[in-house]
Amino acid sequence: MLTARRLGKRYGEKRVLRGIDLALPRGGFLVVTGPNGSGKTTLLRICAGLAQPTEGAIERMAERAQVGYLGHEPLVYRELTALENLELYGRLYRVPERRERIGMLLERYGLWEARHERVASYSRGMTQRLALCRVTLHEPQLLVLDEPYSALDEAGVELLDAQLAELRGESTFVLATHDPARVEPLASGRLALA
């Protein structure tokens, strides 16, 4: 699914990544760890296709429509409601049976009651849960998740655990985390950045 050879990324003078090799098969689960500033976010952005490496090469066997990315920002519009946000992404990703799928996801992540309220009024945990809805909305084959647990409340953590366990094997994962122990049972590969 994902192959990288001697991947490097530099922003002007600042070197962020150097000499990364990875080979992630379909259905694999790669856990990326490392201290802050080690380039985890940059690596994940490259995996998702948001950034291009400055050295080396990366091959991705998934089209844009099949990739789901969760970054530090939830990538939802604060002035729109949860429903409007998911409607937008649903249309852009041509999600089949859009309404039903959105309804199902909102309900599953406990946001159904708040679906007509603006995201600006949500708690941090709720926003992150909405972000998870957004990521899984189009049933992506490649999921790139950057510290998905960090902004979640307790209920959200359980939901995410369940979701990961359910999708494990069907989808391919790249997950960056500060708490590798949590996802250790799911991992098929590990990458530690200096």
Between 6 and 190, CB nearer to other proteins: 6
| Residue of the chain from 64, 99, 124, 190 that contacts other proteins (CB under 8 A) | 64
122 binds other proteins (CB under 8 A): no
67 binds other proteins (CB under 8 A): yes
Contact region with other proteins (CB under 8 A), list: 70-78, 101-109, 150-158, 166-174: 70-78
CB 70 within 8 A of CB 148: yes
Question: By rule CB under 8 A, what count of residues binds other proteins?
Answer: 34
CB 74 within 8 A of CB 128: yes
State the greatest distance between any 2 C-alpha atoms of the chain, in Å, as a whole number: 48
Between 84 and 161, CB nearer to other proteins: 84
**Nearest-angstrom CA–CA distance, 82 and 97:** 17
Q: Where are the alpha helices (DSSP H) in the chain?
A: 40-48, 82-92, 98-108, 124-136, 154-167, 180-183
92 binds other proteins (CB under 8 A): yes
CB 111 within 8 A of CB 133: yes
In the complex, the residues that contact other proteins under the rule CB under 8 A are: 10-13, 15, 48-52, 54, 63-65, 67, 69, 71, 73, 75-80, 84, 87-89, 91-94, 118, 134
